[in-house]
Structure 1
Amino acid sequence: MSGGQADTGVLAQLMAQAAREGADLATMRAVAEEAGELSAMRALTRLGLADEAARVDLADLRELLAAWRDAKRSVWKAAAGWCVRLVGALVLTGLAVKLGFGGWLK
């Protein structure tokens, strides 16, 4: 079971226990939801991501990361293309020398 599923299972067990002991299930769900939101906001605040500018910053970072990945992919494609051309040139040069066309260079 993943971490999220285990947490959900524990929460469900605690809520069932509270219901058996007389707590209102709707109240327990509201408490759990509020606690989750409060925890998420605390975590975002600690990370410096709680303000409205953080949304724009994250969008910019995602755009920058996508551009970086595109650039990396382009560099690898270009490098592969140059390697293929270099190998082709070497093969043609080898064939030319082997077939006696090397004398033309003199």
Structure 2
Amino acid sequence: MSGPENSGVLAELMAQAAREGADLATMRAVAEEAGELSATRALTRLGLADEDARADLAELRELLGAWRDAKRSVWKAAAGWVVRLAGALLLTGLAVKLGFGAWLK
């Protein structure tokens, strides 16, 4: 569960704690520490908590960008070949239709 629902629940819990006498600054600090701890745990579980994680993510982004560029190039090349083939077939059809086939004999 994430997004606006969580922030609403957190705000409600902090308001309740304030009504019951808890210091709002303390509650904010607790919420911030809990968020920091949760983020650290999540990164650790993903294997991204070490010093090399930033470089690893940059390398993965670069690799993903190269993959996308390669896919784009393949599609452009395939489209180019389809257009060339269609043009060649069209020219062949015109040549046969106009009687240029007799010149080959």
- Alpha-carbon deviations, 1:32-89, whole Å to 9, x = none? 0000000110111111100110110000000000000001001101100110010000
Deviations along 1:8-53, one digit per CA (max 9) or x if unpaired, are 0000000000000000001000000000000110111111100110
**Equivalent in the alignment of 1:40:** 39
Q: TM-score, normalised by structure 2?
A: 0.97
Distance 1:31 1:105 in 2: 89
Aligned pair count reads 105
- CA RMSD in angstroms comes to 1.1
- 1:87 matched to 2:86? The reply is yes
Segments of 4+ moved more than 6 angstroms: none
Q: Is 2:68 the counterpart of 1:66?
A: no
What SS does structure 1 have at the residue aligned with 2:52?
Answer: helix
CA distance in 1, matches of 2:33, 2:47: 21
TM-score for the superposition, normalised by structure 1: 0.96
Q: Unaligned stretches of 5+ in structure 2?
A: none
Q: Secondary structure at the match of 1:52?
A: coil
**Aligned mates of 2:75, 2:83 — CA distance in 1:** 12
Residue 16 (structure 1) aligned with residue 23 (structure 2):
no
Q: Distance in 1 between matches of 2:103 and 2:11?
A: 85
Q: Percent identity?
A: 85
